[in-house]
Amino acid sequence: MATPADLLAQIAAAVEAQVSGAVRLASDYRDDLEPIPAGATRYQVRGGPSGRDSDSNETRTVESVEVSLHHALSGAERVYTEGAMQSDVAALIALSFWRGLAAVAEVIEPPGYEVEREALVVSVTVSVEVSITP
Kind of pairing between the strands at 121-132 and 59-72: antiparallel
Choose the weakest-confidence range: 28-32, 55-59, 123-127: 55-59
* Dist. CA 23–CA 12, nearest whole Å: 9
User: Given CA atoms 24, 134, 65, 85 in this order, what sign does their dihedral have?
Assistant: positive
Question: Mean pLDDT across the stretch 19-30?
Answer: 96
Helical pair 4-18 and 84-93, crossing angle rounded to 10 deg: 150
The edge-to-edge listing of strands for the beta sheet with 41-54 is 23-24, 41-54, 59-72, 121-132, 104-118
Structural domain boundaries in the chain: 4-132
The pTM for the full model equals 0.93
pLDDT digits (tens, 9 = 90+) for 37-94: 999 999 999 999 988 877 767 888 999 999 999 999 999 999 999 999 999 999 999 9
Identify the CATH assignment for 4-132 out of 3.10.20.30, 3.40.50.620, 3.40.50.800, 3.30.70.1700: 3.30.70.1700
* Dist. CA 11–CA 34, nearest whole Å: 22
Question: Mean pLDDT across the stretch 21-46?
Answer: 96
Say what the pLDDT of residue 56 is. Answer: 67
